[in-house]
Chains A and B, each alone.
Chain A
Amino acid sequence: MSVSDYWNPKFETCSKEELRALQLAKLRRHVDWAWNMSPYHRRLYAEVGVEPGDIRSLDDIRRLPFMTREDWMAVQSEQPPFGDLLTQPRERAIRYHLTSGTSGRRPLRVLDGPKDWQWISECWAYGFWAMGVRPEDTVFFAFSYGSFIGFWGAHYCCEKIGALVIPSGNMTTENRVRQIAEMEVTTVCATPTYAIRMALEAEKLGIDLAASKVSKLIVSGEPAGSIPATKRLLEEKWGAKCADTAGMTEIGTIMMFECSHQPGGAHIIEDHFIEEVLDPDTLEPVPYGEMGERVVTSFGRGFIPLIRYRTSDFVVKVPHDRCRCGRVFDIYDGGIRGRVDDMLLIRGTNVYPRAIEAIVREYREIDEFQIRVWKTAEHVDEITVRVEFVPDWHGYREGLMQTLAADLKRNHEGLRINVEEAEAGSLPRFELKAKRLVDDRPKA
């Protein structure tokens, strides 16, 4: 029986210098691989006159040009289906996935080989182990197992750990909740939105999840897992510790996880990734504690090398010792804070959907919500938060909406944010990534 609290104690607890030395060794080999095997990367690097031998220190990573989602979409459009990003013929791949397309753009396509899938599940294992998942656990995946990569890697990670895995595929929410109770599940994996939905379903069915065996709730797919009010709501409803994780299809797995010490953020898996945080305008690194854009280099997937990929995610990196767990991995304080392309500009004020969720989730009387942006006849931008109340709450709704509107206004530099009631059951519910923003403004 393993006694380590760490999945990989050698590199989770090494010195910072050793961690950086490992990153440099991997970076040099991976850049060499990309240069030699991927026509896309060869062209990208040739354009700026950089070669693998130029990477002598970690700082030299800044000599490498960025990869962007737009470039990726463009090369896959020009040479469908994969562009010239592949380092290998597709016959050598064992798996195909594509992005969820929730942002309304063309999905990105990825391929992976057997070793890549070992690595994908491995990164999840860092997180699951850190949250306390062990062979004696029973893990339930509230996930539809489609072409979106979602929790696929987490499923294999649990098999690797030796836990009992319950895949729920196309089960209804009611069936899922019943299975969780009947099978004495200890760990549930879902998006934060869907975990809330299952909790509400359980209440409707008279199942007390807080009294169930579930002690760990591992969420991913949305930033809400690190929004304190949402996390508190989840922990109360499930009577379990909630841990946030975040990944992306472009990587294939997670690059950060919250450990059982719950330091208010997630550790970056730094022996498998280099995560830079840059000012999105100047592209200069920002210091610890300042918000910037994540730029990721992954050492896992070799089929499509991911080197200096601009993610559009806003993060705040803080030193590893913010957490008491003993890991040397730095932390993204508050998880993913938002996305560059999520920002709404309403009458001169920046509004982020995540910030609205953080406030709305403080109101337990609200079951679901939607953010609608629209233009008046006078061409003025308006924003309305539509709220659905918990069915059995019969308090003073008008008063609560006024309080919420005042709260939203106070937190948005005085911007008036309308609040209106939506009919019970009228707002969409989600299993994967929630899409609560509806922008009805005419497209330019």
Chain B
Amino acid sequence: MDKDLIGRPLEPAEKDVLEVYARLKELCAMPGQAPCVQSNLRFATAAIAQVVTDLGLDYEHLYDLGV
């Protein structure tokens, strides 16, 4: 993805945010993690999802990840 939801090219920091977001979503989906890992990953993902939404980089609901 190289543009945001309104078609603006992504800033370098925005690309970084999207990378972290994608990685956190992958981690949330990984089975068999300790409760401390799983729960805190869910809350970290919820926080970065808000950054992603505020910056108009993506917009989606993440309940299937427990987020």
Contacts and interface: CB of A to CB of B under 8 A. Distances in A.
Interface in A8-38: 8, 10-11, 14, 18, 21-22, 25-26, 29-30, 33
Contact of A22 (B5, B42, B46): B5
A388 to B, nearest CB: 45
Contact of B46 (A8, A10, A118, A271): A118
Contacts of B63: 87-88, 92, 113, 115, 302-303
B67 A115 contact: yes
A152 interface: no
B59 A29 contact: yes
Contacts of B59: 25-26, 29-30, 299
A25 B43 contact: no
A10 B43 contact: no
Given A92-B66, A114-B66, A122 B49 contact: no
A11 B43 contact: no
A118 B47 contact: yes
A329 interface: no
A114 B67 CA distance: 5
Interface in B1-33: 5-8
A374 interface: no
A25 B6 contact: yes
A25 B61 contact: no
A10 B55 contact: yes
Nearest to B57: A10
Contacts, number: 66
Contacts of B8: 18
A40 to B, nearest CB: 16
Residues of B in contact with A, size category: 20 to 34
Given A87-B63, A114-B42, A8 B49 contact: no
Given A92-B66, A271-B56, A115 B61 contact: yes
B37 interface: no
A82 interface: no
A124 B27 CA distance: 29
A299 to B, nearest CB: 7
Given A113-B63, A299-B59, A122 B46 contact: no
A119 interface: yes
A33 B61 contact: yes
Given A11-B54, A271-B56, A115 B62 contact: yes
Contacts of A115: 45-46, 49-50, 61-63, 67
Contact of B67 (A8, A87, A113, A303): A113
A271 B6 CA distance: 12
Interface string A51-62: 000000000000
Nearest to B5: A25
A29 B60 contact: yes
Nearest to A119: B50
Contacts of B5: 21-22, 25-26
A302 B7 CA distance: 24
B44 to A, nearest CB: 10
Contacts of B62: 113, 115
Nearest to B53: A119
Contacts of A271: 54, 56
A115 B65 CA distance: 11
A117 interface: yes
Task: Determine which residue in B6, B50, B66 has the highest number of CB atoms from chain A within 10 A of its CB, and name it.
Answer: B6
A181 to B, nearest CB: 35
A118 B8 CA distance: 25
21 contacts: A8-B54, A10-B54, A10-B55, A11-B54, A14-B6, A18-B6, A21-B7, A22-B56, A25-B56, A30-B59, A87-B63, A113-B63, A113-B66, A114-B43, A115-B46, A115-B49, A115-B61, A115-B67, A118-B49, A118-B50, A271-B56
Given A25-B56, A119-B53, 19 more contacts: A8-B54, A10-B54, A11-B54, A18-B6, A21-B5, A87-B61, A113-B62, A113-B63, A113-B66, A114-B66, A114-B67, A115-B45, A115-B46, A117-B46, A118-B50, A122-B50, A299-B53, A299-B59, A303-B63
Interface of A: 8, 10-11, 14, 18, 21-22, 25-26, 29-30, 33, 87-88, 92, 113-115, 117-119, 122, 271, 299, 302-303
